[in-house]
Amino acid sequence: MTLTLLAGSSITAGYGDLVAIKDVSVDLGEGNLLGVVGPNGAGKSTLLRALAGVIPVRAGTVSWEGRDINALSADKRARLGISMVQEGRRLFPSLSVQENLMLGAYHASPAERQERRDQVVEMFPPLGPIMDRSASVLSGGEQQMVAVGRAWMSKPRCLLIDEPSLGLAPIIVDEIYKALPVLQSAGVSIVLVEQEVGRVLRIADRIVVLHEGTVMHDGPAEDFRDRPDALREAYLGIAPGGKG
Ligand SMILES: Nc1ncnc2c1ncn2[C@@H]1O[C@H](COP(=O)(O)OP(=O)(O)OP(=O)(O)O)[C@@H](O)[C@H]1O
Ligand SMILES: [Mg+2]
């Protein structure tokens, strides 16, 4: 029996008059990878923001190891070990790769920072030679590696990763995806938001399908691992051979 690390129970969240997710429940088991898929506008990023505390929930409860954390700010949740890799990477363009990474570990000792930085290079070898390069000139793939690496620097227990494949060539996406099981085997639990159903099914333990702000499906990824088309068709309305 896997213990629940992070959960949302019947959560509702939105922006102004808009209800973007309604009555959504998700459960991330300790050491698991939970895939969240769904079309554009389904509420995937909103769900991650609500879990991370970037936006408040209007109803329902976000809990961490069984404790209600609704009242905790994003910063306090980060200190518990919840780290978010936002859609679009969001690096500091005027800083170098190295400086961007170090920002993820500002509370760690110099020795620990160095150790984690070396682990990032192990995970993403292309970053090794470009540590001093300005983040403003990085390719999309390099930026995504830095974004994931920066999250790793904060010694997270849980990573919330939003569409890491967005706009990247498949070969680069492969590289990013190779790192996720490595993170998982280091004890990090992961919520991975994606539109590419096939990729998520290959590495996820559980899969949640969001559609128009509600959960359409929640079950073991294994059920659809060998037939991603069935999941796409049944829940996403995407014809076989379509995206993902
Ligand atoms: N900052 C915001 N202010 C107002 N509305 C927003 C904001 N962010 C998202 N929305 C709206 O909330 C709904 C859900 O958006 P969300 O970004 O969560 O979807 P998504 O599943 O992540 O989509 P995508 O796959 O395109 O990233 C959409 O209707 C969107 O227009
Ligand atoms: Mg999104």
Provide the pairing of β-strand 206-211 with 214-220: antiparallel
Q: Rounded distance, CA 100 to CA 90, Å?
A: 10
Q: Pocket of ligand 1, candidates 15, 17, 55, 235: which has the most ligand atoms within 8 Å of its Cβ, to mutate?
A: 15
Return the residue matching tokens 């069984």.
66
Domains and CATH numbers, the chain: 4-84+156-236 (3.40.50.300)
Q: What pLDDT, on a 0 to 100 scale, did the predictor assign at position 6?
A: 98
Q: What pLDDT, on a 0 to 100 scale, did the predictor assign at position 106?
A: 79
Q: What pLDDT, on a 0 to 100 scale, did the predictor assign at position 233?
A: 83
| 230 SS3 class | helix
Q: What pLDDT, on a 0 to 100 scale, did the predictor assign at position 2?
A: 81
Ligand (nearest to CA of 162): 2
Return the residue matching tokens 């809990």.
63
Q: Which of 229, 223, 231 is nearest to 242 (CA)?
A: 229
The low-confidence residues of the chain, meaning pLDDT below 70, are 1, 237-244
Q: For 133-166, write each residue's pLDDT tens digit.
A: 999 999 999 999 999 999 999 999 999 999 999 8
Q: What pLDDT, on a 0 to 100 scale, did the predictor assign at position 90?
A: 82
Q: Report the separation in Å between the CA atom of 59 and the middle of ligand 1, taken as the mean of its atom positions.
A: 18
Q: What pLDDT, on a 0 to 100 scale, did the predictor assign at position 107?
A: 80
Ligand (nearest to CA of 38): 1
Burial (CB count within 10 angstroms: exposed 0-12, middle 13-18, buried 19+), residue 80: middle
Q: What pLDDT, on a 0 to 100 scale, did the predictor assign at position 238?
A: 58
Q: Pocket of ligand 1, candidates 11, 12, 18: which has the most ligand atoms within 8 Å of its Cβ, to mutate?
A: 18
Q: For 75-110, write each residue's pLDDT tens digit.
A: 999 999 999 998 777 899 999 999 999 998 878 899
Q: What pLDDT, on a 0 to 100 scale, did the predictor assign at position 118?
A: 95
Q: What pLDDT, on a 0 to 100 scale, did the predictor assign at position 179?
A: 92
Question: ∠ CA 70-73-79 to the nearest 5 degrees?
Answer: 105
Q: What pLDDT, on a 0 to 100 scale, did the predictor assign at position 86?
A: 86
Provide the pairing of β-strand 67-68 with 59-64: antiparallel
Q: Rounded distance, CA 26 to CA 200, Å?
A: 16
Task: Output the ligand 1 site: residues, CB below 6 A.
Answer: 15, 18, 20, 38, 40-46, 87, 195
* 152-171 as b/e: b if 16+ CB within 10 A: bbbbbbbbbbbbbbbebeee
Q: How many angstroms separate the Cα of 222 from the Cα of each of 204, 207, 214?
A: 8, 9, 22
